[in-house]
Amino acid sequence: MNLDWSYMIDQIPLYKKALILTIKLAFWGILLSTIIGLICSIIQYSKVKVLRNIVQGYIELSRNTPLLIQLFFLYYGLPKMGITIEAELCAIIGLAFLGGSYMTEALRAGIEAVPVTQIETAKAIGLSNSQLIRYILLPQAVTSSVPALGANCIFLLKETSIFSGIAILELTNTTKDLIGMFYKTNESLLMLVIGYLIILLPMSLLLSWLERRVRHAEFGY
């Protein structure tokens, strides 16, 4: 297998652009889905029945449908009903819609892991509900769900490859285009894999470091 190195060097600027776009979309998607996750998990903790049912419905809907179909619906379906959304915004909305439910599940598990005594003690010393959530519940829930949140971040980063379905020139779509234009299959795919490794390896190292730090803060080892 002979690789055409000069071709690969020529394509670096294109891949750099695609890499930056991928990171940008993933960043906003992950940020939004974390916010959605926080809000939804607090709603699930609260005992308001109507809101809980809405959140439950949202989780089931987003967990049981593929991202590609969600994106197609947003990008090709909605404009026909008069709602036109730009492709990149579509991608971010789709990723946040999908990621929100995963983040909710992760945080909910964290909230459930907080011992009941903590909550009872907080109530006993007279904290209000919002104080209880802010000072007692969330700090402990977030620390114990850090591994799951990290796994979700990596999952969402990988899901960005699906944006190629709605004509966004991120890593995978760029590669597909280049294969179509120059027929340099091996080189393009190699660059693609390197591109994902550049994002995902530091990310996974960072996350395992963070996990260790959090565990250290919590248990002291």
Q: Are 123 and 135 in contact (CB under 8 A)?
A: no
Alpha helices in the chain (DSSP H): 5-10, 12-45, 49-63, 67-72, 87-113, 116-124, 129-131, 138-144, 146-159, 171-182, 185-219
**Alpha carbons 159 and 68: distance in angstroms, whole number:** 9
Residue 178 as a binder of another protein (CB under 8 A): the answer is: no
One residue of 136, 189, 198, 214 binding another protein per CB under 8 A: 189
Residue 52 as a binder of another protein (CB under 8 A): the answer is: no
Q: Are 89 and 123 in contact (CB under 8 A)?
A: no
Q: Residue 120 CB, nearest distance to another protein (Å)?
A: 23
One residue of 172, 174, 178, 191 binding another protein per CB under 8 A: 172
Q: Which stretches of 15-66 are assigned E, i.e. beta strand?
A: none
- Show the CA angle centred on residue 162, arms to residues 158 and 163, nearest 5°: 110
Q: Are 91 and 29 in contact (CB under 8 A)?
A: yes
Stretch that binds another protein, among 38-46, 62-70, 109-117, 137-145 (CB under 8 A): 62-70
Residue 165 as a binder of another protein (CB under 8 A): the answer is: yes
One residue of 46, 53, 128, 186 binding another protein per CB under 8 A: 186
One residue of 80, 117, 167, 219 binding another protein per CB under 8 A: 80
- Taking the CA atoms of 170, 175, 176 and 181 in sequence, report the sign of the dihedral they define: positive
Residue 201 as a binder of another protein (CB under 8 A): the answer is: yes
Stretch that binds another protein, among 43-51, 56-64, 107-115, 211-219 (CB under 8 A): 56-64
Our CB check for another protein shows the closer of 35 and 193 to be 193
Residue 84 as a binder of another protein (CB under 8 A): the answer is: no
CB atoms within 10 A of CB 152: 22
**Alpha carbons 152 and 195: distance in angstroms, whole number:** 20
Residue 76 as a binder of another protein (CB under 8 A): the answer is: yes
- Taking the CA atoms of 148, 63, 167 and 27 in sequence, report the sign of the dihedral they define: negative
**Alpha carbons 179 and 168: distance in angstroms, whole number:** 16
One residue of 53, 54, 77, 128 binding another protein per CB under 8 A: 77
Residue 205 as a binder of another protein (CB under 8 A): the answer is: no
Instruction: Kindly list the residues in this chain that would bind another protein in the complex (CB under 8 A).
Output: 1, 60-61, 63-70, 72-73, 76-78, 80-81, 158-159, 161-162, 164-165, 172, 175-176, 179, 185-186, 189, 192-193, 196-197, 200-201, 204
